[in-house]
Amino acid sequence: MSTSIRRWVETDTGHRVPNHRSKCRNLHGHRYRWEAELEGEVVTREGVSEEGMLIDFGDVSEILEEQIHDVVDHAFIVYEGDAEAMQALSVMGDDHKTLVVPFVPTAENLAKWAFSVVESHITTAYGNDLRLVAFHVRETPKSCASWRL
């Protein structure tokens, strides 16, 4: 048995799915929710700040802010193989916040990407077997994709 927690950040981010059969092939954006799910044992060491927790929620927020929010908020995520979008974004100049990725930026692929970015930053000094077990990306209020170990 173990305990799990979730913490998230939200961003306003653009993308497109270039080969999609419907409207998602157009340049557009979402209010994304990037949610880390952690699992482990509750810290039992008496007198430490994290006693009774897996990890301080604030520490998770700091990781998500630096590794996800600051990278993709008010940015456009574009697949490096999407020549049309790459050309259109190049007109915006170097000041435009663009994240070029080696995959089509679907919610499923973004969940996998976010997991890989955040995983190495989840650490603890208390031996409570803390680990990132899933990353969830909510693209719309009714649509969410997850990447799990």
Summarised one tens digit per residue, pLDDT across range 62-116 is 999 999 999 999 999 999 999 999 999 999 988 999 999 999 999 999 999 999 9
User: What is the 8-class DSSP label of residue 1?
Assistant: -
Name the residue type at position 114. Answer: A
pLDDT at residue 47 tops 80: yes
pTM for the predicted model, two decimal places: 0.95
**pLDDT tens-place string over residues 28-39:** 999 999 999 999
pLDDT digits (tens, 9 = 90+) for 7-34: 999 999 999 999 999 999 999 999 999 9
Per-residue DSSP letters for 90-101? HTT-TTS-EEEE
CA–CA distance, 131 with 7 (Å, rounded to integer): 13
pLDDT at residue 1 tops 80:
no
AA identity, residue 45:
R
Mean local confidence (pLDDT), 37-59: 96
Structure tokens at 106: 């679907």
pLDDT digits (tens, 9 = 90+) for 109-146: 999 999 999 999 999 889 899 999 999 999 999 999 99
- CATH T-level topology, domain 3-74+105-148: Tetrahydropterin Synthase; Chain A (3.30.479)
- Of 144, 1, 139, 4, which Cα lies nearest the Cα of 72? 139
